[in-house]
Structure formats: C-alpha cells, structure tokens
Chain A
Amino acid sequence: MIIYLNGEEHQVEPGTSLTALVTNLVADPRGVAIERNRVIVMKSQWDQTMLADGDQLEFVQFVGGG
C-alpha cells in the first residue's frame, strides 16, 4: 500500500506499525514528533498505530532556526 511521508510517496507492507516505519527510516527517533492525517501520534502510541493506505504522515524535529 502507499502512504505519503513528508510529502513523498512510500510503499509499505500492510500491517506495518508506525514504530516499524520510524525505526526503519530514522537512526535516532528521539526528538521526532509525528503527525498522522493532521493528528499528533504520541510516542507511546507508535507501537499500536497500524498504517493504512493513503495515510499522510509528517515526521518533524528541531533544526537550527531564528
């Protein structure tokens, strides 16, 4: 199935959890906040959050800024 992550298309297997996706893509997920379909998913919920076809995800973190 297809999800949209930070604006880009990604192929994922059905039944993939948010934790599995994060672990696969981000070396150190500390300090990463996630929004799924415009709703924040708290870290404690990543394990039980199963991705669905067409999900819109945003992975954000702190970067340098004014």
Chain B
Amino acid sequence: MTETTKDLNQDDSWTVAGRTFSSRLIIGTGKYRDYAQNAAAAEAAGVEIVTVAVRRVNLSDPTQPRLTDFVDPKRYTFLPNTAGCFTAEDALRTLRLAREAGGWSLVKLEVLSDQKTLYPDMIETLEATKVLVKEGFDVMVYCTDDPVFARRLEDAGACAIMPLGAPIGSGLGIQNPVNIRLIVEAARVPVLVDAGVGTASEAAIAMELGCDGVLMNTAIAEAKDPIRMARAMKHAVLAGRDAYLAGRMGRKRYADPSSPLAGLI
C-alpha cells in the first residue's frame, strides 16, 4: 500500500463530549412529508446523529405516528434541540425534560431572538449554557458567527460550537466564511455549521473552511427529491472534508499551463 492510500484509509472520525462519530453530517427530523421519508433521508445521508424536538404528547389522537417508530433511537443518536425557545428559562426547561425523556445528557441548545430572523439571542444562550454545564449536560450550542461569543461559549463549557451559516431555513449558504474560519481556527472543541446551507456546494464550503461537521434540515426536507438531496449532502460533506485535508492550491492572478512547455512541436 502506498503512503497516500494508507492516509486515505485512515479513520477520519470526530469526537464530541467523548462520543466518536464517523459521519460529519447531522440532519434534523422536521418538515419532512412524513417520518418514513425522514427515515429514508437519514439512511441516504449516512448520518449517525439526528436532531429532535421536545413537544407535548398528542393525547387526543394516540394513533398519530411516532418518530421513534421510524427513526430508531438505538441506531441514531438523538440530539434534543430547543428550537422554538426564546428565553434561557424555556430552553432549560425543555432540555431538562429531554434528559428525563431520553436518559442522556448530550443536547443542542438554541435560544432564538425573534420569529422573523430566528437569530440566536447570545446573551440568553450564554446564560443557559452556563447553567446546563453546571447541571452536567454536554451542550452543543447554536450561535452567531461572532468569534468572540464563540470563545465565550467555549470558556463556559460548551462541548461544540455551532455557528449559523445563514438564518435557519433560509438556504442562503455560508454568508460569512471569514468569521466561520476564525471560529474554527480558535476553537478547541468541534465547530459545526448549523443552519443556512441550501445545497450541496454550500455544505462542501463549510467543510472546506475546516468545520468538523454540518447540521441541516430544510435543505434536505424541502428539496424536490429529499432522498437524493440527502445523498448529495453526504457526498458534499465527504468531498469538502477531503478538500480541506488535502489543502487547496494557491490562487494565482494569471494562467499556469498544466502541460510541459518543453518538447513542444
């Protein structure tokens, strides 16, 4: 085996809060036509982690399909999320219930500011992070792409930093690659772009910036063919990761021929 192929076959897993994963793609479980389509997308995306929400049990119609009947919590790591929480208090309440419902402590925190932008409220987010860490949670934190707040979150004990690429559900792509790169360079915990990716090339960009992973929901769920898009995202994340590890060529101002100039006829 040559050196190169040996390198290529090396394990490229990543670890968050002591848990090791080989897939660097995390998908949500919202907005799909049904849970069956959701399960097929998770399969096609090759993911090991899915985000889930905590909501009231539907007591009026017990025949409603349940997520866990389609997406097996034994096969996938369920990452409870606080989507829909606009205060630290609501987020804390939700995640305490999530820990009771699931029995594990790895969670995703997001505290939003307003319905129009769903932009993270970083003051509330930082406060909630501190409390959750004190209570023994492993907290992956959705945040703005501000490198200063990213460092504050890490100092507060966040086990992963998850800056937005663009507003949740917007599909606008990575709006501020400079900041994502700064966050990646400074962080000692995994950094995952969470929100904003719209298509495969944008997931690849996140990975080329050196992120440890990408989290998305709408880009897959609202594609015309969600299963095919799930597969596209799997390939994009792998391609972006490899490109990052390979190291891109330098940018040049002028052409540089690929064929030798010597021996021209």
Contacts and interface: CB of A to CB of B under 8 A. Distances in A.
Interface residues of A, number: 26
B52 interface: yes
A26 B101 CA distance: 14
Interface string B7-35: 00000000000000000000011111001
Contacts of A64: 28-32, 35, 38, 52-53, 67
Interface string A22-57: 000111100111110010101100000000000000
Contacts of A8: 59
A26 B83 contact: no
A51 B67 CA distance: 29
A65 B101 contact: no
Contact of B68 (A33, A40, A62): A62
Given A31-B101, A31-B102, A62 B57 contact: no
B67 A66 contact: no
Contact of A66 (B93, B96, B100, B168): B168
Interface in B28-66: 28-32, 35, 38, 51-57, 59, 62, 66
B53 A5 contact: no
Interface string B81-125: 101000000000100111011100000000000000000000000
Interface residues of B, number: 35
B78 interface: yes
Nearest to A65: B53
19 contacts: A5-B59, A26-B57, A28-B66, A38-B93, A62-B54, A62-B73, A62-B98, A62-B101, A63-B29, A63-B54, A63-B66, A64-B53, A65-B29, A65-B30, A65-B53, A65-B81, A66-B51, A66-B53, A66-B168
Given A62-B67, A63-B29, A64-B30, 16 more contacts: A6-B56, A31-B101, A40-B96, A59-B56, A59-B59, A60-B55, A61-B54, A61-B66, A62-B98, A62-B102, A63-B67, A64-B53, A64-B67, A65-B28, A65-B53, A66-B28
Interface of A: 5-8, 25-28, 31-35, 38, 40, 42-43, 58-66
